C-alpha cells in the first residue's frame, strides 16, 4: 500500500496545494481522548486522493495542522469518511467547521448493512481482509510503528470503492437524496469542551446532601486543574468515587494512599492537607451562603410530580406502541431490519411521542407518512405532517 508520511511544513504546503484541485478526498483521524493524556488530541490525519495515502503528523513541531482547515472547510471538495461523529467534534473543538462531508456508514445503514465496523464492511462488500490490531494503541507515541501506519492507511484507502459501490445501489433504490439530507446534517455536529460535568452523572447525586455535593464539585474542579497541569487523563489524577466519599466524610483522608489512586507525585502529606483545605473552604462558603446540609442534592419529585411524569410516559409509550412501532415494522419489511432501525430508531420515536418534531429530515417524514398509510395508522393524531 502506497503511503507518505508528512512531518515537514514544506511537504504539507505542497500537499495542500495539490489537494485543493481534487473534487473529493477520503479522510480519517486518529486521536487520543483522555486515554494517555489530558483532553481530546488529534494524533494523525489520514488523507487519500485515490492513489496515495498521506499520513499527516499534527504532533510534529514542523507541521501546522490548522493549515489543513481551509481544505476541510472547502465545500468544493467532498470529504469521505466512516463514522465521522467524533472526528467532526474534534475538528470543531479545534476551530474548524467541516463542509461537504460524506459518511459511508450512513449509506451502509440505509442499505441495511447495519451497525458494522469498517473492517467488516470492507471484508463483506469488497472481499478484502484488513488489519484490526492498532485501533486502541497509543497514537501519541512517536515514532509510529509500521503496523500503526498500515492500520491508519487502511481506514481511508477503501472508502472511494465503498462509496462507489453503495452509490450505485442507492441510485437504483432512489435513496441518493436520503444520503444527501443526512450528509447536510453532519455539518451541524459540534464539539463540547471538557469540564467536570464530562465525568459526573445524575446518579452520582443520589443520597448525597446538598452541601456535600457542592464540596464534591469543587474537588472535581481541582482534579481538572491538576489534569491540565500534568497533562494526564483526569481519572489518572484522582479517583472520582474517592473524592465523592471525601466530600461527605473528611476522615476518608486516612485512606488516601489506598483509595485515591492518585498520581505518584501527589502522594504527600502536603497534598492531602491541601485537599482538606479545599473541602473545608468550600463548605464554609456554602454555610455563609445559607446552603445547609439537611437536604439532598437530588431533588426528589413530590407525589404529584411523580404521578404526572408516570402519566406522561404512559401516554408516550401508548403513542409509540399504537402509532410508531407499526410504522417502524412496515419500514423494516420494505427496507430491512437494520435500515428500519436506523431510520426510525427508539430515540426518534420517543421524541415524536413527546411532541418534538424539530430536525425531522424530509425523507424520514415522507417515509413515516407513506408507511403510516400502509400500516393503517393516522399520524394526524401526533401531528407528523
Q: pLDDT per residue over 137-181, tens digit each?
A: 999 999 999 999 999 999 999 999 999 999 999 999 999 999 999
Does residue 237 register a pLDDT over 60? yes
Q: CATH number for the 196-288 domain, one of 1.10.3470, 1.10.150, 1.20.58, 3.40.50?
A: 1.10.150
Other CB atoms closer than 10 Å to residue 59's CB: what's the count? 16
Burial class (CB in 10 A: 0-12, 13-18, 19+), 121: buried
Task: Round the average pLDDT of the chain to a whole number and report it.
Answer: 93
Does residue 255 register a pLDDT over 50? yes
173: its cell numbers: 433504490
Class of 3-186 per CATH? alpha beta
Q: Give the pLDDT confidence of 346-364 residue by residue, as tens digits.
A: 999 999 999 888 889 999 9
Q: Which residues of 7-43 are buried (b: 16+ CB within 10 A; e: fewer)?
A: beeebbeebbeebeeeebbbbbbbbbebebbbbbbbb
Interatomic CA distance for residues 365 and 40, integer angstroms: 36
Confidence of residue 301 (pLDDT cuts 50, 70, 90): low
Q: Give the pLDDT confidence of 189-204 residue by residue, as tens digits.
A: 888 777 888 888 888 8
Closest CA to 366 of 104, 107, 102, 177: 177
Average pLDDT value for residue range 285-289: 93
Q: Return the HEC string of 168-205.
A: HHHHHCCCHHHHHHHHHHHCCCCCCCCCHHHCCCHHHH
Residue pair 67/6 in contact by the 8 Å Cβ criterion: no
Check whether the bond before 143 is cis (ω within 30° of 0): yes
Q: Give the pLDDT confidence of 33-77 residue by residue, as tens digits.
A: 999 999 999 999 999 999 999 999 999 999 999 999 999 999 999
Compute the C-alpha angle 112/136/55, nearest 5°: 85
Interatomic CA distance for residues 291 and 303, integer angstroms: 25
Confidence of residue 383 (pLDDT cuts 50, 70, 90): low
Does residue 293 register a pLDDT over 90? no
pLDDT of residue 1: 62
Average pLDDT value for residue range 17-37: 97
Does residue 210 register a pLDDT over 60? yes
List the strands of the sheet with 53-56, edge to edge.
Answer: 3-6, 53-56, 40-48, 24-33, 78-81, 101-103
Closest CA to 212 of 286, 271, 262, 274: 286
- Contacts of 331-336 spanning 24+ positions with Cβ under 8 A: 331/367, 331/371, 334/371, 335/110, 335/112, 336/111, 336/112
Q: For residue 103, which phi and psi values (nearest 5 degrees)?
A: -100, 110
pLDDT of residue 115: 75
Does residue 384 register a pLDDT over 60? no
pLDDT of residue 6: 98
pLDDT of residue 366: 95
Q: Which residues does 95 contact at the CB level (< 8 Å), separation at least 6?
A: 66, 69
pLDDT of residue 385: 46
Q: Where are the domains of the chain?
A: 3-186, 196-288, 303-382
Q: Give the pLDDT confidence of 66-119 residue by residue, as tens digits.
A: 999 999 999 999 999 999 999 999 999 999 999 999 999 999 999 999 778 999
**pTM for the model:** 0.90
Q: Give the pLDDT confidence of 302-350 residue by residue, as tens digits.
A: 778 888 889 999 999 999 999 999 999 999 999 999 999 999 999 999 9
Beta bridge partners of 46: 28, 55
pLDDT of residue 131: 76
Residue pair 327/381 in contact by the 8 Å Cβ criterion: no
Amino acid at each position: 500500500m502506497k503511503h507518505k508520511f508528512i512531518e515537514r511544513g514544506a511537504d504539507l504546503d505542497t500537499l495542500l496545494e495539490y489537494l485543493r484541485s481534487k473534487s473529493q478526498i477520503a479522510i480519517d483521524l486518529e486521536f487520543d481522548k483522555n486515554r494517555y493524556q489530558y483532553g481530546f488530541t488529534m494524533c494523525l490525519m489520514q488523507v487519500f486522493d485515490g492513489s496515495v495515502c498521506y499520513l499527516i503528523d499534527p504532533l510534529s513541531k514542523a507541521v501546522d495542522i490548522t493549515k489543513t482547515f481551509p481544505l476541510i472547510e472547502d465545500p468544493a471538495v467532498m470529504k469521505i469518511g466512516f463514522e465521522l461523529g467524533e472526528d467532526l467534534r474534534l475538528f470543531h473543538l479545534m476551530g474548524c467547521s467541516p463542509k461537504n462531508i460524506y459518511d459511508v456508514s450512513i449509506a451502509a445503514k440505509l442499505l441495511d448493512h447495519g451497525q458494522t465496523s469498517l473492517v467488516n464492511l470492507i471484508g463483506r462488500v469488497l472481499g478484502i481482509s484488513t488489519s484490526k490490531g492498532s485501533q486502541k494503541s497509543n497514537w501519541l507515541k512517536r515514532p509510529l510503528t509500521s503496523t500503526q501506519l498500515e492500520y491508519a492507511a487502511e481506514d481511508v484507502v477503501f472508502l472511494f470503492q465503498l462509496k462507489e459501490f453503495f452509490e450505485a445501489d442507492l441510485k437504483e433504490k432512489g435513496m441518493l437524496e436520503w444520503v444527501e439530507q443526512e450528509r447536510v446534517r453532519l455539518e451541524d455536529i459540534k464539539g463540547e469542551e471538557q469540564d467536570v460535568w464530562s465525568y459526573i452523572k445524575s446518579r452520582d447525586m443520589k443520597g448525597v446532601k446538598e452541601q456535600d455535593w457542592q464540596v464534591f464539585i469543587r474537588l472535581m474542579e481541582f482534579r481538572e486543574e491538576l489534569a491540565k497541569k500534568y497533562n494526564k487523563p483526569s481519572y489518572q489524577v484522582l479517583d472520582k468515587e474517592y473524592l465523592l466519599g471525601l466530600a461527605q466524610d473528611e476522615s476518608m483522608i486516612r485512606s488516601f494512599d489506598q483509595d485515591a489512586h492518585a498520581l505518584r507525585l501527589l502522594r504527600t502529606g502536603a497534598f492531602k492537607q491541601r485537599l482538606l483545605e479545599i473541602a473545608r473552604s468550600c463548605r464554609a462558603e456554602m454555610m455563609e451562603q445559607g446552603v445547609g446540609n439537611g437536604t439532598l442534592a437530588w431533588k426528589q419529585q413530590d407525589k404529584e410530580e411523580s404521578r404526572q411524569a408516570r402519566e406522561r410516559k404512559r401516554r408516550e409509550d401508548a403513542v409509540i406502541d399504537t402509532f410508531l412501532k407499526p410504522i417502524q415494522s412496515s419500514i423494516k419489511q420494505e427496507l430491512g431490519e437494520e435500515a428500519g432501525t436506523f431510520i426510525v430508531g427508539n430515540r426518534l420515536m420517543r421524541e415524536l411521542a413527546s411532541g418534538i418534531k424539530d430536525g425531522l429530515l424530509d425523507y424520514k417524514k415522507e417515509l413515516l407518512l407513506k408507511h403510516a398509510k400502509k400500516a393503517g395508522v393516522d399520524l394526524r393524531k401526533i401531528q407528523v405532517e
